[in-house]
Amino acid sequence: MENQFDATNYPDTEPTGFTVGDRVAWKRTDLSVYDNTLFELSYKALLEGASSSISVTATADGDDYLIEIPSTTTTAYAAGTYHWTAFINRIADSERVEISDGVFVLAENRASSVVDPRSHAKKVLDAIESVIEGRASKDQESLSVEGMSLVRTPIEDLLVLHSKYKAMHVREVRADRISRGLGHSGKILTRFK
């Protein structure tokens, strides 16, 4: 493993993901046509479905641009999916051009004791299973009390949702096992001619 605090080991592309509370750094080595004494590199990232945003300006390092965001800064970021855009800004007159864009996922702070490590699919699957288990002792789907009525989701609909979220969770588990080099537990079928 390389020392991630050493600028010579920084990746030369933007991250596709990092964790709230972690230091993140990268460099752009492909922008030498923009003399970093006359231009600056900046980023703007917008959180999907929210008004949160992140703004970062690179520092000059020889002909390269270094981007370093300390842990004390990322601790304040909201977890989620961000869409980022990189800009080259001409220092003399503040003119700018967009040079690249992409997406990164900011994971919840894993050092926090309040983080639920389950994925969305697993959380929903657990909730559906809890409701189905609770239904074993209750057979009433609707109830009226003092003019208010409550209607519960029919068990058939819950079973359809259960199948959907179970399949999503199984795909996540398989993808995670494969990414960690553990293989997967699914069957691979082949046909010989």
Give the pLDDT score at 111. Answer: 77
Give the pLDDT score at 68. Answer: 96
Across residues 8-33, what is the average pLDDT?
Answer: 92
Give the position of tokens 């959380």: 123
CB 20 within 8 A of CB 73: no
Output the domain CATH number for residue 14.
Answer: 2.60.40.10
* One domain for residues 17 and 103: yes
Residue 70 token pair? 């300390």
Which of 45, 42, 13, 16 has its CA nearest to residue 27?
13
**Strand order through the sheet with 39-47:** 17-19, 96-107, 80-90, 39-47, 53-57
Q: Domain ends where: 107, 133, 161?
A: 107
pLDDT band of residue 187 (cuts 50, 70, 90) is low
Looking at the predicted structure, is the pLDDT value of residue 144 above 70? no
pLDDT band of residue 14 (cuts 50, 70, 90) is very high
Residue 50 token pair? 């929210």
State pLDDT tens for residues 100-122: 999 999 988 877 756 677 777 88
Alpha carbon 66 to its chain's center: 23
Q: How many domains does the chain have?
A: 2
Residue 122 token pair? 């697993």
Extract the runs of DSSP E, i.e. beta strands, from the chain: 17-19, 24-28, 39-47, 53-57, 59-61, 64-69, 80-90, 96-107, 142-145, 148-151
* One domain for residues 153 and 82: no
Residue 50 belongs to domain spanning: 7-107
